[in-house]
């Protein structure tokens, strides 16, 4: 139970505010240490501690810390999924696909691996397979937040924003409790589909305001600006996001640098730096 608590708290690192991270990290360590006092081989506790430090800037070391846990059946699906995200964060999309598929095989009725598999296939340029996986996941979880937002992103930034507008109108797939966010995503797709300057400027103001409120919203803004033909502005936002002080357990998303819309940034001369 203590090991499971440590792992459950681990999931909150993706969603909690930066201000809450020190307390959350202390809670994870406390629960994991209690589990290990009772059982030194408690693998959920070991996995929670291995995944706790931020992987940003130390992706290779973060991956090496996970490898001993791959042979532990009760945590292997979680480790596979974590590795899939690590590989996506470094643009190794085919390796991310392989880890995601294995996680799906191990946890076929858990939405997390399916959601990552969609994004990994999309990032790898395997658009048809990503679409098939997205449709399959929607049948299993028709109102899942992650599945809906992943599909909306792939359609909006996959060269067919008009299809994203149509998909956003299908209320039977809408996740509960996020109507305002759904409206923003629809507005974004409409602006990109129409190319209307006033609409694009309105969305730009919205995404910049979101970044000013919460820096973790940067990937959303970068994708939009890149898709709108504003690669230099997108790059400036990305650089500010990636060169700030990062908390030792903070989750820093870098997948957006290597996915289809993010590739527009690669043409900026300073990107390699």
Give tens-digit pLDDT for 116-168: 999 999 999 999 999 999 999 999 999 999 999 999 999 999 989 999 999 99
Cβ-Cβ contacts under 8 Å for 211 (sequence gap 6 or more): 217, 218, 221, 237
CA 46 – CA 40 distance, rounded (Å): 9
Which of 10-19, 26-35, 122-131, 221-230 is the least confident region? 10-19
Q: Average pLDDT for residues 102-113, to the nearest whole number? A: 95
CA dist 191 and 176 (Å) reads 24
List the structure tokens of 253.
């998303």
Indicate the pLDDT class of residue 18, thresholds 50, 70 and 90. confident
Per-residue model confidence as pLDDT tens digits over 237-246: 999 999 999 9
159: left (phi over 0), alpha (psi -120 to 50) or beta: left
Q: What is the pLDDT of residue 16?
A: 82
DSSP codes, the chain = -HHHHHHHHHHGGGTS-GGGHHHHHHHHHHHHHHHHHH-TT-HHHHHHHHH-S--TT-HHHHHHHHGGGGG-TTTHHHHHHHHHHHHHHTT-HHHHHHHHHHHHHH-TT-HHHHHHHHHHHHHTT-HHHHHHHHHHHHHH-TT-HHHHHHHHHHHHTTT-HHHHHHHHT-GGGPPTT-HHHHHHHHHHHHHHHH--HHHHHHHHHHHHHHHHH-GGGHHHHHHHHHHTT-HHHHHHHHHHHHSS---TT-----GGGTSTGGGGGGGSTTS--
The mean pLDDT of 2-26, rounded to a whole number, is 92
**Arithmetic mean of pLDDT over the chain:** 95
Q: pLDDT band for position 80 (50/70/90)?
A: very high
What is the predicted pLDDT for the residue at 88?
A: 98
The CA-based angle 158-161-166, given to 5 degrees, is 125
pTM for the whole structure = 0.94
Cα gap 64→177, rounded to integer Å? 39
pLDDT of 14 > 90? The answer is no
């Amino acid at each position: 139970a203590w090991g499971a608590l440590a792992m459950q708290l681990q999931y909150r690192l993706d969603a909690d505010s930066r201000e809450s991270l020190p307390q959350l990290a202390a809670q994870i360590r406390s629960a994991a240490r209690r589990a290990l006092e009772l059982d030194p081989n408690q693998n959920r506790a070991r996995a929670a501690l291995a995944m706790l430090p931020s992987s940003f800037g130390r992706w290779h070391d973060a991956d090496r810390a996970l490898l001993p846990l791959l042979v532990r059946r009760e945590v292997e699906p979680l480790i596979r999924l974590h590795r899939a995200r690590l590989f996506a964060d470094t643009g190794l999309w085919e390796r991310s696909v392989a880890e995601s598929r294995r996680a799906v095989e191990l946890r076929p009725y858990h939405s997390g691996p399916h959601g990552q598999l969609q994004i990994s296939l999309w990032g790898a340029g395997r658009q048809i397979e990503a679409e098939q996986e997205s449709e399959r996941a929607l049948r299993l979880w028709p109102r899942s937040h992650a599945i809906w937002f992943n599909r909306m992103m792939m359609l909006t930034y996959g060269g067919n924003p008009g299809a994203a507008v149509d998909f956003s109108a299908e209320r039977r797939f809408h996740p509960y409790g996020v109507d305002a966010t759904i409206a923003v995503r629809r507005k974004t797709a409409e602006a990109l589909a129409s190319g209307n300057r006033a609409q694009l400027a309105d969305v730009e103001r919205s995404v910049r305001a979101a970044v000013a409120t919460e820096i973790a919203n940067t990937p959303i803004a970068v994708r939009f600006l890149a898709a709108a033909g504003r690669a230099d502005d997108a790059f400036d936002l990305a650089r500010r996001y990636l060169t700030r002080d990062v908390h030792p357990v903070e989750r820093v998303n870098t997948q957006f640098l290597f996915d289809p819309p993010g590739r527009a940034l690669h043409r900026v001369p300073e990107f390699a730096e």
